[in-house]
Amino acid sequence: MAKDDNSVRIFQGLLVLGNVVIGMCGIALTAECIFFVSDPHGLYPLLEAAENDDIYAAAWIGVFVGFALFSLSVLGIIGVIKSNKTLLLVYIILMLIIYAFEMASCITAATHRDFLTPNPFLKQMLERYQKLEADNNNDKRMSEEVTKTWNNLMLQNQCCGVHGPSDWQKYASAFRSMYSDADYPWPHQCCVMDARGSPVNLDGCKLGVPGYYNSNGCYDAISGPMNRQAWGVAWFGFAILCWTFWVLLGTMFYWSRIEY
């Protein structure tokens, strides 16, 4: 009998430990997803205009799932220590629901990351940057946001276009129809700026003299943060779910062995 008691205690201890880890991971997931949702790099308008912002939806789900995991882990610890069948049944059912939500978040983040290649950003930049005429207010707002985002991107990262300044020369664009090639072969934000925010030498920039224009593309500055967000949400969530799977199986087994 003592041996039985011991093994039950050990199993209880394992389940409590499992729930403690789930609780801590839940808090970490909430914190991570709040960070991503706050959009520190200001890239959300690009995705919103492309109607491809599901990695942000995945991060939003992650905020709530993380907090729910923490609350449920507390419930689970109480249920295991008290060996209360009702509490544990509630815990298992709610955990299954949260499991499904988190699974949705992981799969969404991983799937929609695949759509973020250079070409959609290039096409959007050419069609929306500095576009003045709009179909409706929403369209106009999105074009303005895209223009603002690109200007910030190009100035802060000292880059130009998606692949490079040649994007503006190779393709027709809303920008090209507004500004002549003679004065603006590419936007002036592509020029090397002095301390006051004006081009060091405008003629050098227009001719493409090395050192007076930024010849590298902005794609790395866009894809870096977005990849980190997508992989952070998808893989951390996956790790939590792998751990939770075993804890849930253990809890179900424990629940089925509790005698009234």
Under the binding rule (CB under 8 A), the answer on residue 98 touching another protein is: no
Nearer to another protein, 45 or 185 (CB): 185
Find the length of the chain.
260
Nearer to another protein, 92 or 221 (CB): 92
Coil, strand or helix at 146? helix
Tokens at residue 236, please?
């951390």
Coil, strand or helix at 77? helix
Contact region for another protein (CB under 8 A) — 7-15, 69-77, 135-143, 234-242? 234-242
Distances in whole angstroms, Cα of residue 155 to Cα of each of 165, 193, 221: 14, 8, 12
- Options 182, 195, 196, 197; binder of another protein; rule CB under 8 A: 182
**Dihedral angle over CA of 92, 59, 112, 139, nearest 10:** 140
The answer to whether 155 and 174 have CB atoms below 8 angstroms apart is no
Closest CA relative to residue 131, chosen from 187, 174, 176, 184 = 174
Applying CB under 8 A, the site for another protein has a residue count of 57
As measured in angstroms, the least distance from the Cβ of 111 to another protein is: 5
Q: Which residues bind another protein (CB under 8 A)?
A: 92, 96, 99-100, 103, 106-107, 110-111, 113-117, 119-120, 122-123, 126-127, 165, 169-173, 176, 180-183, 185, 200-201, 203-204, 206-212, 215, 231, 234-235, 238, 241-242, 245, 248-249, 252-253, 255-256
